[in-house]
Chains A and B, each alone.
Chain A
Amino acid sequence: MPGDTLSFIFLNTILANNFVLAMFLGLCPFLGVSGKLNTAIPMGIASAFVMLVSSISAYAINLALVALDLEFLRLIAYITVIASVVQLVEMMLKKYSPTLFRSLGIFLPLITTNCAILGLALFQTFKEYNFSQSLTYALGAGVGFTLALTLMAGLREKLALSKLPGVSKGAALSLMLGGLLSLAFMGFAGLGSN
């Protein structure tokens, strides 16, 4: 089936089914950290890394749970693993880049409650991807997330310099921008399938 080739999964996840703009996953960091480019890109990369590691762990856990007939524990197992991976990233960042650690602030531990990561783990289970497909899916999701965050941050940096009516400053405007970006990404819809 053409829908199962690795390159198709990769491109489909970045563009046609972008996690943020088409599937509404990971909106909290999307709205929260996209104010400046130099925090948006590290945030994207940190999330992408967590996605990759949790995708691999989720694949292994799912194998174990299916073998033991304990599928009802899937959600609890996934979220626990994700929380631990986030903790790991947090400790690494704190050690190697304290300035970045401070600028990301509360949003770093909140990667745990980033639904893009849990969503990724759940979707790859629902779609019954094998190991290499899961890995590609996670990579695509990470790149797509970083792309959306970067685009948004670039737009918001430009907007900060322009004159706007007082009412529309803040979250309302970010959401409108998100809507326009999402419209633009709908143009890719013909490329892929769900």
Chain B
Amino acid sequence: MSRPRDNTITMETFTEGLWKENPVFVMLLGMCPVLAVTNSAINALAMGLATMFVLLASSIMVSMFSRYIPKQVRIATYIVIIATFVTIVDYVIQAISLDLYNALGAFIQLIVANCMILGRAEAYASKYKPLKAIVNGLGMGLGFTLALLSLGVVREILGAGSLFGISLFGDQFQPWVVMVLPAGGFLVLGTWLLLFDWIKQRQIVLETGGKETHAR
């Protein structure tokens, strides 16, 4: 578990969460909040930031204490650490804005069950020094927030004709209601994934000069 590893912090440590290992678009982790609360941009942003805080705080704790945690009970311990920080976030959001709290509903408490946070604790934070875990957690959290926003923005513009609550098109706009309903979440995320897959495939084609088109 606690083998000495390379603890140098490079640019890669930070950026891999943004693009190469983006938790939502590449690794498909933490799907539930991604689809459930992204029906408006502001909800998406709040959810992203809340998740980022929990991810950072639990990364620090796990990274500091991992060598004292017995291997057999590590998952349970991580979950309890995460649940503690989620409880804090839950009460903080309730204190800051009751509207937001009601809009996000049970999904704030369900951050506990976000597999991205547990996955990061197990696969990264428990193996590296706190500083590196923080930098990586920051990248991952930002990547997650950006992914949520990219869904929230599309769904709010198409489904309600507004952005961050500001109406964009005036009264004539006929909202595409299905986009803010559950089905829209699936469709928008599917479309984003299609787009990214297409970009990746084009890169492969360009790099190999079209020889390995089928080698995906």
On A, residues with C-beta under 8 Å from B are 21-28, 31, 72, 75-76, 79-80, 83, 109-110, 112-115, 117-119, 122-123, 126, 166-168, 170-176, 178-180, 182-183, 186
Contacts and interface: CB of A to CB of B under 8 A. Distances in A.
A170 B197 CA distance: 10
A119 B197 contact: no
Interface stretch (B3-11, B44-52, B140-148, B175-183): B175-183
A contact face: mostly helix, strand, loop, or mixed: helix
B103 interface: no
Nearest to B184: A179
Contacts of A122: 106, 109-110
A26 B35 CA distance: 11
Contact of B190 (A72, A76, A175): A175
Interface of B: 28-29, 31-32, 35-36, 75-76, 79-80, 83-84, 86-87, 90-91, 106, 109-110, 112-115, 118, 178, 181-187, 189-191, 193-194, 197-198, 201, 213-214, 216
10 contacts: A28-B115, A76-B84, A80-B76, A80-B79, A83-B79, A109-B75, A115-B32, A122-B109, A176-B186, A179-B183
B194 A182 contact: no
B112 A167 contact: no
Given A80-B80, A123-B106, A172-B197, A113 B113 contact: yes
